[in-house]
Each structure stands twice: as C-alpha cells, then as structure tokens.
Amino acid sequence: MALVPLVLYTAAAIVYGLHFARRAPRTGRVATAVLSAGVLAHTFLIGMQTMEAGHAPLVGTTSAISAFVWLLALAYLYTELTTDERAMGMLVAVLLAVLDIIPAFNPTVVPRPEVLRSPLFTIHVASLLFAYASFALACVLGVTYVLLFKEIKAKHLGFFYARLPSLQVLDAMNGRVLTIGWLFLTFGLVVGGVWATQVRTSPDPRAQAMSVADPKILVALVSWGVYSFALYARRAIGWTGRRTAWLSAIAFAIVLLNFLPVGYFLTKSHNFNF
C-alpha cells in the first residue's frame, strides 16, 4: 500500500514531463488527474497510519518526509488550480517521487515516545513541514526563473521560452510562496521553542539535547535567517528576479540538508527515528 503513492507520483512526473515537452492540453489534464490520484492514495495511507498508531504519523524523519511530500503535492495542486499553470508540475512531481522513495520502502510508523505527547509537537511539525513545502515550490519557481532569464538574456529563445510563464509571473509567485513559507517557518520554530522549554524536565535524553548547539536546531535557525533575509531583500531593498531566485534555491538546499542528512545522522535532539 505504501508503494501506491510512489508509483502514482512517478507516473505523474512522467506525464507532466510529456506535457512539458509536447504541451497537449489533454496530457496536462491527465497529469493533474494522476497527481491527484497520488495525493488521494497518500491521504488514505496517512489516514490508515493515523488510525493504526492512534496519532498523526509525524514521529521520525521518515514519517516527516512522507507528510512533507503529501503537503507539497497538495500545495502544488492548489497553485496549479488557482493559476492554471502546469509548467512547474514536472519539477515538483520529480521532487515528490524522489523524496517518497524513502517512506515508500520503509512505511512502519515509529511509536510515539512519551515526550512527544503534546499538541504543540504536532503543530510544530505540521507548520514546519508546510513551510518546507512552500520553500520547495519557491525553489522550483526560482530554478525555472533562472532558466528563462538566461534564455532571454542570451537571446536563445527556445525550450523554456515557449513553455514557462513570464519572468514577472514567476517572480511574483516566488514572492508569494516565500512569504507564506516564512510565516509558517517562524510560527513552527516559536512553537518548537515553547514546547522544548516545557519538556526540559523530561528524562528523555533527546529533550535534554534541545539546544541551539544541536545541528538540527542550528541549521533550522540558519535557514530562518536566510529566508528572513530573502524576504527583507525583496521588500526593503527591492531585490527581484535572479537574486531572489538563486536565494530561494540555495535556501531550500539548506532545508533539504537539515531534513535528510542532519535529520537521520547528526541530530541528537530530533532523533526519533527508532
């Protein structure tokens, strides 16, 4: 069952790729349908896991990745419905399919330890994952912006020129998802901080390790700094275009770094993988 969303996300990536290359409207609708089916199957899977475990499957990096993939797919479908723009679909679906490999082959839900039995924990994880999903979209928008910018600047109008919306639209969408992501990131970090002080007295070694020196928390704060700067640069300095596009791509690389290697191997405080 855990493999079904992976298969559908992979299929969606292929169909979105076909749509990107050939631009038949029917293929575009099929792509959306396949991705929607993937999201539905994934929703069902997460629902099953919640019923089985008796809590939302957010404990441990693998479950968090699964939830992240689900949120990103939802956020993307929302933007596609509101803007009627499928050009980003291929990159997003590829990201979904690649990330979903980990939870698809390792679907066991980690039992929730005593220390995580707080609604604050769920809010903390959910809002951070939503922030990361927004940043993933910002990254994809940034990458496509840079590709289109380069084509226009170099006067070689070709593949991306014919397929992407205007630079202005890409830039405006980037600004919007950055703002949404930053709000959720800030909120999630604050909730995490409050919750960490509450569990200080817990005997769990992971609660004891909650400090700014822990890699997971440190990198999260760094990424908050980078995104805050990106927003400040856009709003106060007036940065647009290529610079914010690059910035959103680099910042998402930091987010992914924190999510995968740090989350699995380096952190002591956020190590709920077993």
Partner 1 sequence: MRLLVVGLSHRTAPIELRETVDFARGGLDVALKSLAGRGICQEAVVLSTCNRAEVYAVADTAADADSLGLFFSEYHQLDHRETAAHLYTRIGGDAALHLFRVAAGLDSLVVGEPQILGQVKAAYTTASDLQFTGPLLNRLFHSSFATGKRVRTETGLGEGAVSVSYAAIALAKKIFGKLSGLGVLILGAGEMAQLTATHLRAQQVRQITIASRTLASAERLAGELGATAAPWTAVDDVLGTADIVVTATGATEPVLTRARVDEVMRTRPHRPLFIIDIAVPRDVEPAVGDLEQVFLYNVDDLQTIVKENLARRSGELARAEAIVTEEVTRFVSWMQSREVIPTVVALRQRFEAIRQSELLRLEPKLAGLPPEARARVDEVTRLIVEKLLLTPTEQLKAVSDESTIAAYAEALNRLFRLAAEEQQRTTSAAAPASKAPRS
Length of the chain: 274
Q: How far is the CB of 224 from partner 1 (least distance, A)?
A: 24
Query: Binder to partner 1 among 242, 246, 250, 268 (CB under 8 A)?
Result: 242
18 φ/ψ sector (left φ>0, alpha ψ -120 to 50, else beta): alpha
Of 75-83, 119-127, 160-168, 259-267, the segment contacting partner 1 by CB under 8 A is 160-168
Query: Binder to partner 1 among 5, 103, 165, 188 (CB under 8 A)?
Result: 165
Q: Which of 199/247 has CB closer to partner 1? A: 247
Phi–psi pair at 107, nearest 5 degrees: -85, 0
Query: Binder to partner 1 among 51, 54, 82, 153 (CB under 8 A)?
Result: 153
Q: How far is the CB of 32 from partner 1 (least distance, A)?
A: 16
Is 238 an interacting residue with respect to partner 1 (CB under 8 A)?
Answer: yes
Is 25 an interacting residue with respect to partner 1 (CB under 8 A)?
Answer: yes
By C-alpha distance, which of 43, 132, 135, 32 is closest to 90?
32
10 exposure class (CB count in 10 Å sphere: 0-12, 13-18, 19+): buried
Q: From residue 32, how far is each of 22, 39, 115, 161, 187 by CA, in Å?
A: 15, 10, 40, 22, 31
Query: Binder to partner 1 among 51, 54, 119, 155 (CB under 8 A)?
Result: 155
Q: Which of 5/165 has CB closer to partner 1? A: 165
Which residues are CB-neighbours of 18 under 8 A, at least 6 positions away?
27, 31
- Site for partner 1, rule CB under 8 A: 23-25, 148, 152-153, 155, 157, 161-162, 165-169, 237-243
